[in-house]
Amino acid sequence: MNFPGLDPFWSGLHHAARGLGAIRPWTLEEARAELAREGKVLVVATTALGDSLLTLPLVESLAQALGHARVSLLVRAPYADLFRGDPRLHRVFSVRGKYRWEGLVAGLKRDPHRIALLANMTEPDLVPALWHGGVRAFLRYPTRWTRYPRWMANAEMLRPPGAPDYATGHAIENNLAMAEALRIAPSTHRLALPQWAAKERTRRVLIHPGASRAIKRWPLENWVRVADALVETYEVDLMLTGSDAEKPLAQAVKDGMARPDRAEVVTGALTLPKLAAAQSGSVAFLSGDTGPYHLAVAVGCPTVTLFAPTDRGSSMEACGPHQADPALHRAIQTAALGDSIGTILFEAFWAEVEKVMPPALARDFPATPPASG
């Protein structure tokens, strides 16, 4: 639900309330005092799947310091089942989209969380909604900006667009910086979803050829060459994953293979929990920079990933492999921001695949990385 003028009206209304003193968000010292009173913390990431997954080291660090009964997560509804059952979380809240947070305010009033750590969100609508749900201390992801800078307890950590250090640093470290502002030291810098650990592994490689934008979709012929080379070199079976809309692309990869009988198309057929389980039990996951790539890292599946960033915030610097074993996680990026992913040659990508496949095939279970480290 959104219509022209709603954002400025909604945010303007709450800016006015802030100016009149009807809204007074807490300072950093007040947030720390709330932690001393054993208050709960809500981690917020309601944009893309990858943004949600990149909060996992923050979630774990908070849980290690405060106990799981004091840490909750707010994500988009399609991703919520992926995080439910996580032993580090008290509760998983969800929203369906911009201005579609039915039940969230009431839920937060019943189960108060006074501190919110804002990683990524549709902030024009959501920041005031969290206030109405009882949140009183807001910390924002550093090196970015916000419509509500005067609401943020860590405002000195924010950077306006155009600043030399705007959108710098890896997402994991920027998320952890919010915990550090509360004097909570990071206990890990790695992604981990321990509840999806596989019980057995198959000699199978997952290929995810699709992407949300054309600039990030590697040419079909390159994926066909990769598929053929995997089967010929390593005698593995293949599973082609993606959304239902990407089924024609996945089918085209299979149809172009020399041995299509070695590939299975499952686009649109896997829920996120089922994809996590499939990744956890597979040899490797090959893709562009997509949410399922971060999911593969989190469940302990080796990865080789293509990056075609349009800005610093979507680059390997911001969301590439981070403190992951370089023997099992490799990435390659276009030469310049805005370059098409097609400028990455097959030979360059395959060289990275050849680095990962031998140790990936030699792994023993458990495949999922430890929950801390």
Q: What would the pLDDT profile of 3-44 be if each residue is shown by its tens digit?
A: 788 999 999 999 999 999 999 999 999 999 999 999 999 999
Whether 372 is in a domain gets the answer: no
Whether 1 is in a domain gets the answer: no
> Mean pLDDT over residues 287-313, rounded?
95
- 350 shares a domain with 201: yes
Mean pLDDT of the chain: 94
Binning pLDDT at 50, 70 and 90, where does residue 194 land?
confident
pLDDT at residue 318, rounded to an integer: 93
CA-based nearest residue to 117, from 228, 34, 203: 34
- 205 shares a domain with 134: no
Lowest mean pLDDT among 68-72, 195-199, 221-225: 195-199
214, 85 contact by CB (below 8 A): no
Domain count, the chain: 2
- 284 shares a domain with 166: no
> Mean pLDDT over residues 339-367, rounded?
90
Whether 244 is in a domain gets the answer: yes
Q: What is the DSSP letter of 100?
A: B
pLDDT at residue 138, rounded to an integer: 98
pLDDT at residue 175, rounded to an integer: 98
- 205 shares a domain with 64: no
- 351 shares a domain with 273: yes
Cis preceding linkage at 87, omega within 30: no
Q: Which residues lie closer than 8 Å to 130 by C-beta, 6 or more apart?
A: 42, 44, 108, 116, 138
Binning pLDDT at 50, 70 and 90, where does residue 214 land?
confident
> Mean pLDDT over residues 172-185, rounded?
98
E strands in the chain = 41-45, 71-76, 91-95, 115-120, 137-140, 204-208, 237-240, 263-265, 284-288, 303-307, 329-333
Give me the domain span that covers residue 317: 194-361
Q: What is the CATH number of the domain that holds 46?
A: 3.40.50
Lowest mean pLDDT among 192-201, 242-251, 340-349: 192-201
* DSSP track, 341-364: GGGS-HHHHHHHHHHHHHHHHT--
Residue 71's alpha-carbon distances to 52, 56, 156, 221, in angstroms, are 15, 12, 25, 46
Binning pLDDT at 50, 70 and 90, where does residue 363 land?
confident
As a whole number of angstroms, the distance between CA 280 and CA 199 comes to: 9
> Mean pLDDT over residues 165-182, rounded?
96
pLDDT at residue 197, rounded to an integer: 81
* DSSP track, 114-163: -EEEEEE--HHHHHHHHHHTT--EEEE-TTS--S-GGGBTTGGG---TTS
As a whole number of angstroms, the distance between CA 285 and CA 44 comes to: 27
The pLDDT > 90 percentage for the chain reads 90
pLDDT at residue 225 is higher than 90: yes
Does residue 336 or residue 365 have the better pLDDT? 336
Q: Which residues lie closer than 8 Å to 370 by C-beta, 6 or more apart?
A: 192
> Mean pLDDT over residues 141-150, rounded?
95
Whether 187 is in a domain gets the answer: no
Q: What is the CATH number of the domain that holds 343?
A: 3.40.50.2000
pLDDT at residue 373, rounded to an integer: 37
- Model pLDDT for residues 36-76, shown as the tens digit of each residue: 999 999 999 999 999 999 999 999 999 999 999 999 999 99
Torsion of CA 240, 245, 251, 254, to 10 degrees: -30
Binning pLDDT at 50, 70 and 90, where does residue 366 land?
very low
> Mean pLDDT over residues 342-370, rounded?
85
* Residue 162 exposure: Cα atoms within 13 Å on the Cβ side: 1
- 249 shares a domain with 152: no
Tokens coding 360: 């990936």
Phi/psi of residue 136, each to 5°? Answer: -125, -20
Lowest mean pLDDT among 45-49, 151-155, 188-192, 363-367: 363-367
Whether 135 is in a domain gets the answer: yes
Q: Which of 181, 210, 234 is a domain's end point?
A: 181
pLDDT at residue 1, rounded to an integer: 63
